[in-house]
Amino acid sequence: MIKVEHLVKKFGLRTAVDDVSFGVEKGTVLGFLGPNGAGKTTTIRMIAGYLPPTSGTVMVNGVDVVANPVAAQRQIGYMPENTPLYDDMTVSGFLRFIAELRGLRGKARDQRVADIMERCMLTSVRHQPVDTLSKGYRRRTGLAQTLLHDPAVLLLDEPTEGLDPNQKQVVREMIEQMAKDKIIMLSTHVLEEVEALCTRIMIISEGRLKLDSTPEDLKKRSASYNTLTLDVVAPGADPATVLAQIPDVAQVDVVQRAGDKHVLRLIPRDKQSLAVSAIEVATQHKWLVTELRADPGRLDDVFRDVTTTADVIRQSA
C-alpha cells in the first residue's frame, strides 16, 4: 500500500510538487500521467526514498519513507528515469551486485538472478557488458533489477520512453505479468500506454493532481464520446434532417454524400448512446445501414483538457 499525504517538494522558489495526496491499493496498476516537467519524476523519487520531501508524508506498506528509507526501500523496486545502469558491468554481474545490495548471497543470489534473467528474457545477453546492450535489452535489465527482492511495490519512471513499438510491446507485456498482487506505479506522457496497462489513472500538471480516475471513466469525459458515425444508403431521402429529429441528438453533420450514400456524424446531447434510436429510424424508413461506429472516447482529448485548464478536479477512483 502506498499512502501519500500533502506531499510538497520545492526546488528553491520553484514548487515541483504541490500538495499531492493519494493512496494506492494492492493489485492496482497506476498510470501517472502528465506533460514533461509536471512533477512525475520528483513525486516518484520521494516515494522511492531518494529525494526528501519539503513537507508531507509518504508511507509504503506502513513504513514511513522519510523516517526509515531503508526499511521502505526493501518493499520497493524502482526503475529511475532513463534507466541508469553500471555500464562497465555485465548483465549478470550487475544483477548479482543489486541482489547483494538487496541482501541475497551465495547460491540463493545466483538462483534468483538466473530466474529473473529467464523471466526478463536476458539469459542470452547475460555475459554482455551493459553499455553494449540495445535500448530494449537495457530497459529489460532495468526492469529485472527491480524484481530481484520480489517487492510489493514497483515504481517505474517512464518505462517505455524511447523504445520502438516492438520493444514497447515487450516491456508492456512484462509489466502486465508483474502486475499480479503488486502495486505498480508507472509514469508516462504516452496515453496509449495507460490505456493498454493501467487500472487507474492520475493526471498531474504543474505539480498538482488534476484528476484521479479509471481509463473508462476518463474516456467518457472526452468531448467526442459516443459520437455516432453512420453510413447509410437512403434512396431519395434526406436522412440528416430526419435523424436530427431524434430527441437525444444535438447535431447532425454530413461528412460525405455520394448519390444515395450518406456518411453522417450524430453528436449526442449528453454523451448518450445513439445507436439504437438511429437504427430504429433507419429501419422505419427502410434505409440500409452499411456501417455504424460509436466513438469510444479519446484519452488525449481529456489529457489536453485537464492539463491546460487550471481548475482541479478530484474524483476518487
Ligand X SMILES: Nc1ncnc2c1ncn2[C@@H]1O[C@H](COP(=O)(O)OP(=O)(O)O)[C@@H](O)[C@H]1O
For binding to ligand X (CB under 6 A), which residues are involved?
Answer: 11, 14, 16, 34, 36-42
The grid coordinates listed for 195 are: 490505456
* Cβ 262 to other proteins shortest distance, Å: 58
**Residue type for 213, please?**
S
Binding residues for other proteins restricted to 134-193, rule: CB under 8 A: 145, 149
Binding residues for other proteins restricted to 83-112, rule: CB under 8 A: 84-89, 93, 97-98, 100-103, 105
* Stretch 44-83: interaction string toward Mg ion, x if CB under 5 A: -------------------------------------x--
The grid coordinates listed for 117 are: 534473467
Q: Please count the residues of this chain forming the interface with other proteins, following the rule CB under 8 A.
A: 31
- Please, are residues 71 and 95 in contact by the beta-carbon 8 Å criterion? no
**Distance of alpha carbon 78 from alpha carbon 21, whole angstroms:** 20
Nearer to Mg ion (CB atom), residue 5 or residue 81: 81
Read off φ and ψ for residue 252, nearest 5 degrees: -125, 125
- Selection from Mg ion, other proteins, ligand X, none that 238 binds (CB < 5 to 8 A by kind) is none
Q: Helices 106-119 and 91-101: crossing angle, nearest 10°? A: 130
* Cβ 292 to other proteins shortest distance, Å: 51
- Selection from other proteins, Mg ion, ligand X, none that 268 binds (CB < 5 to 8 A by kind) is none
* Cβ 132 to other proteins shortest distance, Å: 13
**Distance of alpha carbon 287 from alpha carbon 289, whole angstroms:** 6
* Cβ 197 to other proteins shortest distance, Å: 22
Alpha carbons within 13 A on the beta-carbon side of 218? 29
* Cβ 34 to ligand X shortest distance, Å: 5
Binding residues for other proteins restricted to 64-83, rule: CB under 8 A: 70, 73-74, 76, 78, 80, 82
The residue ranges of DSSP E strands in the chain, in sequence order, are 2-11, 14-24, 29-33, 55-60, 63-64, 76-79, 153-157, 183-188, 200-205, 208-213, 228-233, 249-258, 261-268, 288-294
Nearer to ligand X (CB atom), residue 7 or residue 63: 7
**Residues in a beta bridge with 5:** 57
* Cβ 80 to other proteins shortest distance, Å: 5
- Give the 3-state secondary structure of residue 29: strand
- Selection from other proteins, Mg ion, ligand X, none that 70 binds (CB < 5 to 8 A by kind) is other proteins
Nearer to Mg ion (CB atom), residue 136 or residue 159: 159
* Cβ 83 to ligand X shortest distance, Å: 14
Strands 153-157 and 76-79: parallel
Among residues 122, 154, 116, 118, which one has the least CA distance to residue 139?
Answer: 122
Assign 3-state DSSP to the chain and report helix, strand, coil percentages, each to 5.
Answer: 35, 30, 35
Residue ranges in contact with Mg ion by CB under 5 A: 40-41, 81
List of residues contacting other proteins (CB under 8 A): 11, 42, 45, 48-52, 70, 73-74, 76, 78, 80, 82, 84-89, 93, 97-98, 100-103, 105, 145, 149
